[in-house]
A = this chain, B = another copy of it.
Amino acid sequence: MSQLENAIAILLQTFDDYAGKEGKKDTLTKREVKTLLEKELLLQEAKNPGEVDKLMKKLDLDGDSEVDFNEFMTLVGCLACAIHFSTI
């Protein structure tokens, strides 16, 4: 498996790991987003419900109060771009 294939496989698995905890298996509930932020990104802000609500609003592009894989990949893209452009 190449680097790129490996990274994509990890993203797919990460999403499935958290989306599978409760509710629909193919979306992240607010609680699953909170857990993902705390565990995967060590974001202390995720302990603040208000902050999670704010991020959910930004991620939840279709307004269904959940984060689907498309919306998750938007988060990943934003994070990766923020890191990339902060290091050049």
CA A84 to CA B14, docked complex, whole Å? 12
Q: How many copies does the complex hold?
A: 2
CA A3 to CA B41, docked complex, whole Å? 9
**For A73, what are the chain B residues with a Cβ–Cβ distance below 8 Å?**
76-77, 80-81
- CB<8 Å pairs between A and B, sample of 10: A7-B11, A7-B14, A8-B76, A10-B10, A15-B84, A69-B80, A69-B81, A70-B77, A73-B81, A77-B77
Given A3-B14, A26-B88, 12 other A-B residues pairs in contact with their CB atoms under 8 A: A2-B40, A2-B41, A2-B42, A3-B13, A4-B36, A7-B14, A11-B80, A12-B83, A69-B81, A69-B84, A73-B81, A77-B77
